[in-house]
Structure 1
Amino acid sequence: MDLLCGEDSGVFSGESTVDFSPEEVDSWPDDSIASLIDDERHFVPGLDYLSRFQSRSLDASAREESVAWILKVQAYYSFQPLTAYLAVNYMDRFLYARRLPETSGWPMQLLAVACLSLAAKMEEILVPCLFDFQVEGVKYIFEAKTIKRMELLVLSVLDWRLRSVTPFCFLSFFAYKIDPLGTFLDFFLSNATEIILSNIKEASFLEYWPSSIAAAAILCVANELPSLSSAANPHESPETWCNGLSKEKIVKCYRLMKAMTIENNRRNSPKVIQKLRVSVRASSTLSRPSDESSFSSSSSSPQSSLSSPCKRRKISDYSWVGDEKSSSE
């Protein structure tokens, strides 16, 4: 599987969205969750990362395209949600620490492939070969040795710290805080996971750390359940869940999630097309000079109306990977 990371992925099984009994949750000391909240700052980009997209020193559309591709491949191979989240996390941390030679194009695609490969090696039992990762509409094809070199560069930049604190570390704990009996645990986990992944492309969420994202997602799900909505007040509940949570951040993240849900629903809502009554006149009316000239002008260049087949460019080598001098440019 070309495993370049020597760490045992079994160590990280606790990060997955597994089920816990109420007794197990009650036995969790608050200090253990608080320590995760304290450690999460080591596994997120710096505070000025979002401002780089806002100032356009980094290309937000290129990041969004890369994240969309990661999610497509995750669905294609039925990877765990955690795998996709880790891949995006590695990519963001890399982009914060090191500048690519181009803010979009093949360097971003190579970075996305390498990050997804590393994440899959961390979390998945069956991992495709490096060449088979390049599916779902990639524009460039990279040789395995090229991807391996990029993997090593990512590992070096991240200081081999692939065990990241993610929102999935907190979901079960937060869900039981609202639903102590765990009656709706599966509903909480599946829907909160969907909310997190559906918003991962949006750069605005880079302002929030994993614990705030997890708490906001759980609150969004709880508000869909009438029996629990009263216990899911974002202005009150989170402060009682665990030490270290930021009420202000959770409330802002919750509001952003609700706004994004409304926006996504608006975009995905079926559009009603007004039916038009079309009458066909006699064929002689179709041969008027004006119609003929119009038709000939629009069809004189068939290639202008037909898109040419998309060709994927093969890139076998590049000079900037492994060149430490480029990191200071």
Structure 2
Amino acid sequence: MSVTCSSNFPDLLCGEDSGIFSGESSPECSSSDLESSASIEESIAGFIMDERNFVPGFDYLTQFQTQSLDVSAREQSVAWILKVQAYYNFQPLTAYLSVNYMDRFLYSRRLPQNKGWPLQLLAVACLSLAAKMEEPLVPSLLDLQVKGAKYIFETKTIRRMELLVLSVLDWRLRSVTPFSFIGFFACKLDPTVAFMGFLISRASEIILSNIQEASFLEYWPSSIAAAAILCAANEIPNLSLANPEHAESWCDGLSKEKIISCYRLMQQLVLNDRRRKAPKVLPQLRVTVRARMRSSSDSSSSSPSPSPSPSPISYKRRKLNNCLWVDDDKGNSE
């Protein structure tokens, strides 16, 4: 029997971990196993119906816009989570879940904003819980506090915070996230799965690179996943003409307006990030001809002459050689 797209989602009915980050190549899709494909589409539709239960309330973004919540403090906490995720090579899902737990907690429970340590303690607790959910090997609570943590908390303090987070979230840690959808959406966009691995990997990078941006709190996981797959497809010539308006047909319950709006925002941020990371190369000065002419005239001269004063061109040349390369990321911490 031929293998279908459903083979890419063996654990779909049991949760969001579908093994899509294993790095294994995906088999070719076919339409032979209709019953399994229908079951997967039904499960994805169920995720879309249920995703509203795993995001902060609709007015959460408004609280940042009105400054009742500190958006810069959230950005710093998310940046720290991403650093630790990269340091320990955690799955992208682990980092996303950490931020998801933190946002859901902050929506339901306020923290003192006149001190910096409560939010850092919350970030450590959320990252610890997410790692326990998704990672086969989890560092100790002390070892987890790396990459520029301003405060170091005792194990018992973090565990008490973990219990508070579990209580506020009603122990609902198996959240619906964009990673619940990207494998399915990638297969819809590329039925041959020729670019399946790249689409999933690149979409994961795009999702994490934008997770600090509070504007994405307006969108639910399914819209973020669809937008990320479309942005990843833009980098593949064979798929670059994919129409965002057609993403609504990938599954029942998707919102075309939300997908297009999220896609445009994400595309702009991806372009800005690409420009920001592009190296700035200093222009080269053409001085070789003059140098040869000067050396020729010097060699033909029989009598010694005093050393000439530096020419404007040679002065500019030395000045440019003393300049440093411009690094747009210099202001960012590791």
Instruction: State yes or no: 1:201 paired with 2:180.
Output: no
Give the number of the structure whose alpha-carbon radius of gyration is greater.
2
Instruction: State yes or no: 1:266 paired with 2:278.
Output: no
**C-alpha contact (below 8 Å) 1:167/1:210 kept by paired residues:** yes
- What is the aligned partner in structure 2 of residue 106 from structure 1? 117
**C-alpha contact (below 8 Å) 1:67/1:201 kept by paired residues:** yes
Cα gap change, 1:166 to 1:134, in 2 (>3 Å): same
- What is the aligned partner in structure 2 of residue 17 from structure 1? 20
Q: Which runs of 5+ in 1 are unaligned?
A: 1-10, 281-329
Which amino acid in structure 2 is aligned with residue 238 of structure 1?
A
What's the offset of the Cα at 1:14? 2.9
> 1:12 and 1:130 mapped to 2: Cα distance?
26
Cα offsets for 1:107-166 (capped at 9, x unmatched): 110000000000000001111111111100011110000000000000000000000001
Instruction: State yes or no: 1:247 paired with 2:256.
Output: yes
Which of residues 224, 230, 244 is equivalent to 1:234? 244
1:1-329 alignment to 2 at 5 Å?
A: 12=15, 14-18=17-21, 21=27, 22-23=29-30, 27-29=36-38, 30-102=41-113, 105-230=116-241, 232-235=242-245, 237-272=246-281, 277=316
Q: Which runs of 5+ in 2 are unaligned?
A: 1-13, 285-314, 320-334
**C-alpha contact (below 8 Å) 1:15/1:166 kept by paired residues:** no
**C-alpha contact (below 8 Å) 1:188/1:221 kept by paired residues:** yes
**C-alpha contact (below 8 Å) 1:16/1:82 kept by paired residues:** no
Cα offsets for 1:82-131 (capped at 9, x unmatched): 10000000000000010001266111100000000000000011111111
Which amino acid in structure 1 is aligned with residue 60 of structure 2?
Y
Cα gap change, 1:226 to 1:200, in 2 (>3 Å): same
Which amino acid in structure 2 is aligned with residue 216 of structure 1?
A
> 1:278 and 1:104 mapped to 2: Cα distance?
51
> 1:58 and 1:104 mapped to 2: Cα distance?
13
> 2:261 and 2:19 mapped to 1: Cα distance?
26
What's the offset of the Cα at 1:15? 4.7
Is the deviation greater in 201-210 or in 26-35? 26-35
What's the offset of the Cα at 1:206? 0.6
**C-alpha contact (below 8 Å) 1:73/1:136 kept by paired residues:** yes
Cα gap change, 1:163 to 1:15, in 2 (>3 Å): farther
Cα offsets for 1:33-65 (capped at 9, x unmatched): 111000000000001001111111111111111
**C-alpha contact (below 8 Å) 1:37/1:244 kept by paired residues:** yes
Which amino acid in structure 2 is aligned with residue 127 of structure 1?
V
Which amino acid in structure 1 is aligned with residue 243 of structure 2?
N
Identity %: 66
SS at match of 1:256: helix
> 2:68 and 2:282 mapped to 1: Cα distance?
41
What's the offset of the Cα at 1:278? 8.7
Which amino acid in structure 2 is aligned with residue 101 of structure 1?
P
TM score, norm. by length of structure 2: 0.76
SS at match of 2:252: coil
> 1:145 and 1:176 mapped to 2: Cα distance?
45
Cα gap change, 1:58 to 1:258, in 2 (>3 Å): same
Coordinate RMSD, CA, aligned: 2.1
TM score, norm. by length of structure 1: 0.77
**C-alpha contact (below 8 Å) 2:124/2:144 kept by paired residues:** yes
What's the offset of the Cα at 1:221? 1.3
